Amino acid sequence: MIVEMKKAYIVVQTSKKRAMLTALRRSGLLHLETSSSTNTTSQSIQKHCDTLSAVIAKIGELQQKKGAVRTKRLSFEACHEILERYAGLIDEAKGLDEEILRLQSTIELLTPWGDFDPSEIEAIRQSGIDLHFYTVAKKDLAKVDPSVSYFALAPVGSREAIATIGAVLDGSTMAIEFTPPAIGLAESQERLASALKARAKVTENLAKGVTYLSCLKEYQRHLQEAQLFEEVASGMESEEALCWISGFLPVDQLSRFEALAKAGAWAYSIEDVGEDDTPPTLVRYPKGVGIIKPVFDILGTVPGYTEGDISTWFLLFFTLFFAMIVGDAGYGFIFLALAAVVHIKTKKPTTLVLLIYVLSVATIVWGSLTGTWFGSLAILERAPLLQKLVIPSISNYPELFGLDAVSAQNTVMKFCFIIGTVQLSLACLLNVIKKAPHKDLSLVADIGWLIAILALYLVVLQLVIGTPIDVSLVFSIVLAGFLLVVFFGEQGPGVPFIKGMLKGLGGLFTTFLNTISAFSNIMSYIRLFAVGMASVAIAQSFNAMASSMNSGIAVVAGILVLVIGHSLNLVMGLLSVVVHGVRLNLLEFSGQLGMEWTGVAYKPFAQTAQEQ
């Protein structure tokens, strides 16, 4: 359920502002509404955070994946010293990287010319002889002006090398001038070797920082919270000797807040959430439903404060969609095994592991009912026990049970449309239940949508499967539902009936389009059948490829085809769940509910970093 919020105001003397914020942060109760602003202190902390993030990222790159690392516990003062030391090492590494690149470029330039001492060339120039070095193609050497004095040098690659005395060649010769660097080839190579050695030493020292990594991350949280503290303090409104702050807190935390305010001698006020307020959303999941939270976290979706909690329905339908899209009992056992391995490794199962358990079992059940085991008919034929689990009318191998494929496919498609109709009808009923206590007449429009959806389901069956219907009766029912939506869709508490009806008539065309959309929403559930069938077809294709490799060394290739093929099919199945399974919940179902998922998660002003 979505927890009811109250709006709280706190007023204190400006001199007690920081003490109030400290106590408020320790309590972790109030989701702040007051905007924050930067100041000199917060900007300084931000610079430290940026440096610390770079250090943590660099050490993380060098962290050895094998073997346990003994971490050291340090004070935040010591962490600050460690930060400066490793930030210096990173700067040193950047400088060495730049020097290495420059030296490598110099060596690449000098290698074709060979080793020489650039200081000797400079000495010649100081004596009054101006030398210029060029490489030029053999065919272009004849284009050099005869008045230019030059002498030939050893060829550089496929080009001739010359040195002119006191003359600069023009562009018509197509010559490329060579400017000798300040150091020669041998010295450049020595410096490069030295720089590489120094760089390796710096990398070694940086790698030692892994022992401080957990402390640095804790220090990072401390700095981030300190920065937020400063920004909140700077953003508080004030007048003369008083300042104030506002925010939202769960209604069941009022007693804790009041006790805190009395202990701190704060002036405070508690109000109901107003229509113009934007309270955060705190969802408390019913027992057993919280396992769906990782899905919401990954999607980043939060219901609006007034939208309602659909987590129970989301979990039920998402589980069914997952099972139908992945569709293979063999794949379900793979997911189950992976969840068990993680469970054993972590000892205590996380909500994500529990969710995978549920999804795995659902997939195994659906795969068993449809007779799908790694997309193999041979497995089903050789296992009479597995055949007894199959419902022939929805089987992926109906010919094994004396049924034709078209009949089985029509049954599965009909089941998909039933699921869609049930889910969309549920949305209408939930809207009616939500509006009834408020005497909101617009609930009649939701009843109209329910009537229309049930009738449109029959239209879908007739168009897709060919189920005969009484067209005039069905469309009369759709029209009745349509009219209820038009006349009652804009009604509401405090809205005069005639005004609401006229407004509904003004949106007649929009309601017509929404009715067509309701039809397409039911049709959309056929994706469960289509994606599931595609997954089976892909598995069968890889099985057929592997079965042809059944002798000699080809057996190894066949095994690789099976492993790689089914792995790809598993990954595509998971992607399909995200694209299709989530979509049906977040668009079709939520759209019928009128949900926009525009909520802001409840995130109280709190301290999570350890104090020192």
Q: Cβ distance 568 to 276 under 8 Å?
A: no
Q: Cβ distance 5 to 273 under 8 Å?
A: yes
Alpha carbon of residue 194 to chain centroid: 44
Q: What is the pLDDT of residue 142?
A: 78
Q: With a cut of 50, list the residues of the chain below it in pLDDT.
A: 65-68
Please indicate, yes or no, if residue 566 is contained in any of the structural domains: yes
Q: Cβ distance 448 to 479 under 8 Å?
A: no
| Claim to verify: residue 472 and residue 447 sit in the same structural domain | yes
| Claim to verify: residue 456 and residue 484 sit in the same structural domain | yes
Please indicate, yes or no, if residue 256 is contained in any of the structural domains: no
Query: Both ends of the chain: CA-CA distance in Å?
Result: 37
DSSP state of 286: P
**Closest by alpha carbon to 2, among 306, 410, 247, 295?**
306
CA distance 331 to 337: 10
**Structural domain ending residue among the three candidates 525, 545, 560:** 525
| Claim to verify: residue 439 and residue 464 sit in the same structural domain | yes
**Structural domain ending residue among the three candidates 137, 154, 179:** 179
Q: What is the pLDDT of residue 76?
A: 84
| Claim to verify: residue 521 and residue 532 sit in the same structural domain | no
Please indicate, yes or no, if residue 252 is contained in any of the structural domains: no
103 Rama class: left (phi>0) / alpha (psi -120 to 50) / beta? alpha
Q: Which position has the token pair 């107003």?
A: 274
Please indicate, yes or no, if residue 478 is contained in any of the structural domains: yes
pTM over 0.85, yes/no:
no
| Claim to verify: residue 426 and residue 511 sit in the same structural domain | yes
Residue 519 domain boundaries:
410-525
| Claim to verify: residue 489 and residue 478 sit in the same structural domain | yes
| Claim to verify: residue 414 and residue 518 sit in the same structural domain | yes
**Structural domain ending residue among the three candidates 494, 525, 556:** 525
Q: What is the pLDDT of residue 36?
A: 74
Residues 6+ positions from 22 with CB-CB distance below 8 Å: 229
Alpha carbon of residue 205 to chain centroid: 34
| Claim to verify: residue 171 and residue 228 sit in the same structural domain | no
| Claim to verify: residue 502 and residue 554 sit in the same structural domain | no
Please indicate, yes or no, if residue 282 is contained in any of the structural domains: no
| Claim to verify: residue 197 and residue 101 sit in the same structural domain | yes
Half-sphere exposure of 360 toward its Cβ, with a 13 Å CA cutoff?
Answer: 17
Please indicate, yes or no, if residue 284 is contained in any of the structural domains: no
CA distance 229 to 22: 8
| Claim to verify: residue 475 and residue 517 sit in the same structural domain | yes
Coil, helix or strand for 110? helix
pLDDT in tens, 424-483: 999 999 999 998 888 889 899 999 999 999 999 999 999 999 889 999 999 999 999 999
Q: Cβ distance 358 to 319 under 8 Å?
A: yes
pLDDT in tens, 281-299: 999 998 889 899 999 988 8
Residues 6+ positions from 479 with CB-CB distance below 8 Å: none
Please indicate, yes or no, if residue 8 is contained in any of the structural domains: no
Please indicate, yes or no, if residue 554 is contained in any of the structural domains: yes
Number of domains in the chain: 4
| Claim to verify: residue 51 and residue 122 sit in the same structural domain | no
CA distance 183 to 190: 11
